């Protein structure tokens, strides 16, 4: 017996999946903040050691920027979990991830600079393009779900683009 997903169910599953991904990332910001240090541009980081002059945007230390971005990701995740705030949260998460592109581009630039390592080059070369599907996924959730008809292709996010129909009890149905 076939099982048809409604647009609402598809969007809810997609929002929950993106929210879970954001929560996992937010937790990593506090468990392993050094992992995110490279994606915070130097011009944003306050240096109290006196080694370099602070620019006009250097209002927080690198650790403070990592903590704030982790809190923003956690807040976005919570907003995606709540249907009443999902539209706003999806737009905010899209904007946040778009702003994060600057940090990823800066990290990639430094990875290919004289101080960059082969490991940094691999990590940041992979990390930057991964932001695009995440931005599109979050952006797709800002639209209200359809009340009739099959689920729209993008509302489920790029990983569920195979379609809204599943065989009853079949996880393999996700990939057809």
Mean pLDDT throughout 139-162? 60
C-alpha–C-alpha distance, residues 30 and 7, integer Å: 35
User: What is the average pLDDT score of the chain?
Assistant: 82
The domain limits of the chain are 2-175
pLDDT at site 146: 59
Reply yes or no on whether the pLDDT at 151 is more than 70: no
pLDDT at site 58: 84
Nearest to 10 by CA among 146, 133, 169: 146
pLDDT above 90 as % of the chain = 56
pLDDT at site 158: 45
Q: How many helices (H) and strands (E) does the chain have?
A: 5, 2
What is the value of pTM for the model shown?
A: 0.75
pLDDT at site 174: 38
In the structure, what pLDDT confidence band is assigned to residue 1 with cuts at 50, 70 and 90? low
Reply yes or no on whether the pLDDT at 164 is more than 50: no
> How confident is the model over 64-116, as pLDDT tens digits?
999 999 999 999 999 999 999 999 999 999 999 999 999 999 999 999 999 88
Please compute, for residue 172, the number of CA atoms within 13 A of its CA located in the half-sphere on the CB side. Answer: 0
Count CB atoms within 10 A of the CB of residue 171: 8
CA-based radius of gyration for the chain: 19
DSSP state of 158: G
> How confident is the model over 13-42, as pLDDT tens digits?
999 999 999 999 999 999 999 999 999 988
pLDDT at site 112: 93
Higher-confidence residue: 119 or 54?
119
Q: Name the token pair of 12.
A: 């809810």
Higher-confidence residue: 131 or 2?
131
CB 89 within 8 A of CB 76: yes
C-alpha–C-alpha distance, residues 130 and 174, integer Å: 21
């Amino acid at each position: 017996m076939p099982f048809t997903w409604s647009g609402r169910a598809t969007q809810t599953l997609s929002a929950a999946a993106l929210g879970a991904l954001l929560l996992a990332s937010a937790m990593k910001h506090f468990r392993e903040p050094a992992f995110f240090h490279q994606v915070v541009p130097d011009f944003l980081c306050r240096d109290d050691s006196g080694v370099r002059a602070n620019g006009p945007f250097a209002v927080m230390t690198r650790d403070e920027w990592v903590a704030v971005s982790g809190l923003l990701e956690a807040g976005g995740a919570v907003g995606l979990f709540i249907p009443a705030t999902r539209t706003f949260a999806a737009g905010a998460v899209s904007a946040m991830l778009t702003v994060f592109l600057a940090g990823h581009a800066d990290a990639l630039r430094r990875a290919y600079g004289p101080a960059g390592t082969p490991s940094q080059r691999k990590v940041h070369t992979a990390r930057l393009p991964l932001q695009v599907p995440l931005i599109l996924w979050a952006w797709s959730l800002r639209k209200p779900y359809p009340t009739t008809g099959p689920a729209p292709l993008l509302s489920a996010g790029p990983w569920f683009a195979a379609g809204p129909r599943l065989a009853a009890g079949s996880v393999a149905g996700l990939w057809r």
